[in-house]
């Protein structure tokens, strides 16, 4: 499973990229707002750090305006994935943009039927929002296997990008189910490496090494 960072924080992106843990980045207007920077400027910097897909979202809601914004965003760098909402206008824009050879991430997916439409529109990625379904007392992770089965049934090449990931348990569940990609805040990605028994074991090894006077270099 590929790891995307869901952030517009270039320092956090650079850190994860240097660790070798990053396959791409997703952004949205809320994350751009949080960064306090111009969308074109910060997106261009992110694209210079990460070699994989960088999702940049349109803010228009009508197909023609989405296409204009999407084409402008795609000019920033060759690894831009234009992010459009899962609406009828967004699906129309997706079909046109993918026909032009651009990557498209269809976002705000909350049902398997919506994911089916996105695949038929040629989406590169479909982004089901796990955490937001959990917020309304549904099990958001149930959506991933439904999409996986539909896509496998018909050979759709759209990648399932598990989004709105809130915890390390979400990451594990998405990987077990077969999501192609997950996108999460940098803090969640880094937390995957931690376990209390790892910390305890390391403390013991270091104590024994000190007691034995072990020095390697």
Per-residue pLDDT of the chain (217 residues; tens, 9 = 90+): 999 999 999 999 999 999 998 999 999 999 999 999 999 999 999 999 999 999 999 999 999 999 999 999 999 999 999 999 999 999 999 999 999 999 999 999 999 999 999 999 999 999 999 999 999 999 999 999 999 999 999 999 999 999 999 999 999 999 999 999 999 999 999 999 999 999 999 999 999 999 999 999 8
Residue of 33, 83, 102, 190 marked active site: 83
* Cβ atoms 98, 121 nearer than 8 A: yes
Map out the domains of the chain as residue ranges: 2-186
Q: Which CATH code for domain 2-186?
A: 3.20.20.70
Quote the pLDDT of residue 200.
96
Quote the pLDDT of residue 11.
97
Q: Is 120 a catalytic residue?
A: no
Quote the pLDDT of residue 217.
84
* Cβ atoms 22, 3 nearer than 8 A: yes
pTM: 0.94
Q: Alpha helices of the chain — where are they, by DSSP H?
A: 10-19, 29-35, 39-49, 63-74, 88-99, 112-120, 130-135, 143-154, 168-177, 186-191, 196-212
């Amino acid at each position: 499973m590929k790891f995307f960072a869901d952030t517009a924080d270039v320092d956090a992106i650079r850190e994860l990229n240097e660790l070798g843990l990053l396959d791409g980045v997703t952004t949205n207007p809320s994350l751009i707002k949080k960064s306090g920077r111009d969308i074109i400027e910060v997106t261009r910097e992110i694209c210079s750090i990460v070699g994989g897909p960088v999702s940049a979202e349109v803010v228009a809601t009508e197909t023609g305006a989405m296409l204009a914004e999407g084409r402008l965003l795609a000019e920033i760098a060759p690894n831009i994935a234009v992010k459009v909402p899962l609406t009828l206008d967004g699906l129309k824009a997706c079909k046109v943009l993918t026909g032009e050879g651009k990557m498209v991430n269809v976002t705000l997916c909350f049902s398997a039927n919506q994911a089916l439409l996105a695949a038929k529109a040629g989406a590169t990625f479909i982004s089901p929002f796990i955490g937001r379904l959990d917020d309304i007392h549904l099990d958001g992770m149930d959506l991933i296997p439904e999409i996986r089965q539909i896509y496998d049934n018909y050979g759709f090449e759209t990648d399932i990008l598990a989004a709105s990931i809130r915890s390390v348990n979400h990451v594990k569940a998405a990987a077990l189910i077969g999501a192609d990609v997950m996108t999460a805040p940098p803090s969640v990605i880094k937390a995957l490496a931690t376990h209390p028994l790892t910390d305890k074991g390391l403390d013991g090894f270091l104590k024994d090494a000190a007691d034995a006077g072990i020095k390697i270099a």
